[in-house]
Structure formats: C-alpha cells, structure tokens
Amino acid sequence: MITVEYIWLDGSIDMPQLRSKTRVFSEKHALAELPEWSFDGGSTGQGDLGDSDRKLKPVRLYKNPFNEGNYMVLCEVMNPDGTPHESNMRSLLAEQIDAKLQHIDVDMLFGFEQEYTFVDPMMQPLVPEDIKQGDFYCGVGAGNVIGRLIADEHLTNCHKAGITLFGSNAEVMISQWEYQTNPEEALKVSDDLWMSRYILQKGSEKFNMRISYHPKIYPSLNGAGCHVNVSTEKTRSEGGLKEIEKMMRKLEESHLDHINLYGAGNDLRLTGECETSSYDEFSWGFGDRGASVRIPSHVEVQGYGYFEDRRPAATCDPYLVTSKLLETLA
C-alpha cells in the first residue's frame, strides 16, 4: 500500500489556506501517472452548493516526511471542464513563464525568507506585547526562544521531502522564526515555499501549536515578512551591480502595482518603523534594512550579486510575487 497526500490551496481571500486529503494506491505512481481527484469546492471557497465539483491536478511530487515510503503531491485546482479555477494562481505563473521563454531566456532566481509566529490553538499570542524585543534574535536557551523543537524538525522534514532549505533562525520578536529557501526559478521556489508551509503547519499539530503568518501581531513589535532575494545571470556576473541599479528604477516606477500583490495586512507592517520601509513610498539602499529594497553590503563591495525585496508580507502568495517581479524585470 502506498499513500499520497493531495495538497492544494483553497479560495480564502486574504491568504490561501492549505488543504489536503489522502488517497490509497496499491503501488507507487510517478507524477504523470497520478490521477486527478475531485473535491467539494463549496467547502473551500471554490464553489457553491449548485456548482461545487472541482478537480485536483497533480503538478509536483514530494516524499512524505511524516510517513516514510509514501508521498505528497502539490495540486492545481481545476474546473470540471479542465480549465484552471479562478483561485489557481500557479497556472497563471506557468503560462507567463512559457510565454516569456519564447522570447527571452528567463534566468531569474528567487529565494524567500519566510517569517512566522507561534501562537496558541486559539490563534492568541504566546507572549505579552510589553515584552522587550531584541534579545531573542538568533537566541538560545529557555526564556530566549519558543518553538525550537518545531523549527528544527521543520528543517529536517523539508529535507526529507526533497525541499532543500538554506537555513533557519529565531527572529527579533520572541516566538517568531524565519527560514530561507534556496535560490530557484519562479515556479519551483513557489511550489517549495507552499509545501514548506504545509510541512511546518502539519508538524506543529503534535505540539498543539499553530502557525500565524499575520504581518503584524503587535503594533509596537516587529512584524512578519517574506523577503525575497532576486538575481539574474547578469546581476550575478562581474559588473552586475549596474544591472541591479537599473532594476531599482523599474521597481520604483511600479511600486504600487507590486505592493498591492505582496500580501494581506502589509500596510500594518510597512510603517517605516521596526526595520521596515513605508508602504506608500519606494526606497532602496546598501545594507539598509529600513528600505523597500536592500542591496547587501557585500554586493556593493564585490560589484555583483543579488538584491533583497523586503516588501512582501509573510502572508504573500509566492506565485503572485514572482510573477510580478518577472513582469517588471525580465
């Protein structure tokens, strides 16, 4: 017996929620052999009582770290006639990439920095707002970190699934953590980020903890973002800093178009305080964590590399973020 968890994004408006159900097979199947599977879209915000049948189309296969020898598959949501459902942002990114590949070589790589906060089962914070922050960044020891067992297990489980993360660390606000994805092309990094979120949330169940991606749990403390590091073959080559500076002008011109796609509740986080920029104004700088976009200091010194777009919220949909960056910069 082989089990496969079919995983998809629902129709929630502020941030799609992850859903799953498990199918049993008598033998192992390759991705192309996995059948589509229907579900009740009326219960996931993707249909109504009179039109609720939707289909799950398998698109990327992973090993199941919670059940050795079995699998998980990320799925796109399709209408009964085989067309993508309106909530299916992945299909739009795939179409965009296919269209661009006919004209230019899309060599842009993305690496996300996903922040999240541990909360109780009722989604209430674990610490009071008046707690001093700053002592907890990359901290160690009881009283300095909350949730290390879950964060460490998450790294291991992602590796078992076939998702190679770059790293993980405790953040400035206690009970908040961050992990980073390796640089990948748009579709793969977006798939891996959603699946890493699924692994994180499922792994937290046995600890009776929940994961919050809310961009600003406390008004006076650091919020939660999902910064994205971006590079191209030109920016990674000698003299690439000049190319990065050209990109800054393009990002400034399209700032409002980007910010509107960078996650619900982002206006609460991007206040110009707590290591953030202004929601309404674009800025960039070298080594500046108060800017919309930070060019790391070592990139300035060596003259090539990548930049960090610090605007996306922890709630962002990576399919939309990478799609907009490709549209603006590629």
Tell me which residue of 311, 315, 320 sits closest to 227, measured CA to CA: 311
CA-CA-CA-CA torsion sign (138, 141, 143, 147): positive
Threshold 0.75, pTM exceeds: yes
- 109-329: which CATH architecture? 2-Layer Sandwich (3.30)
Structure tokens at 159: 């590796």
Q: How far is CA 152 from CA 147, 180, 282, in A?
A: 9, 13, 35
What is the per-residue pLDDT across 162-191, written as a single tens digit (0 to 9) for each? 999 999 999 998 899 999 999 999 999 999
Structural class in CATH, domain 2-87: alpha beta
Average pLDDT of the chain?
Answer: 94
What is the per-residue pLDDT across 102-144, written as a single tens digit (0 to 9) for each? 555 468 999 999 999 999 988 888 888 888 777 899 999 988 8
Q: Would you say residue 325 has pLDDT above 80? A: yes
Domain ranges of the chain: 2-87, 109-329
Judge contact between 8 and 74, C-beta under 8 A. yes
Tell me which residue of 223, 305, 233 sits closest to 265, measured CA to CA: 223
Check if 2-87 and 109-329 are the same fold.
Answer: no
Min mean pLDDT across 83-97, 101-115, 266-280 is at 101-115
Which residue type occupies 106?
A: V
What is the per-residue pLDDT across 68-89, written as a single tens digit (0 to 9) for each? 999 999 999 999 999 999 999 9
Q: 4's torsion region: left (phi>0), alpha (psi -120 to 50) or beta?
A: beta
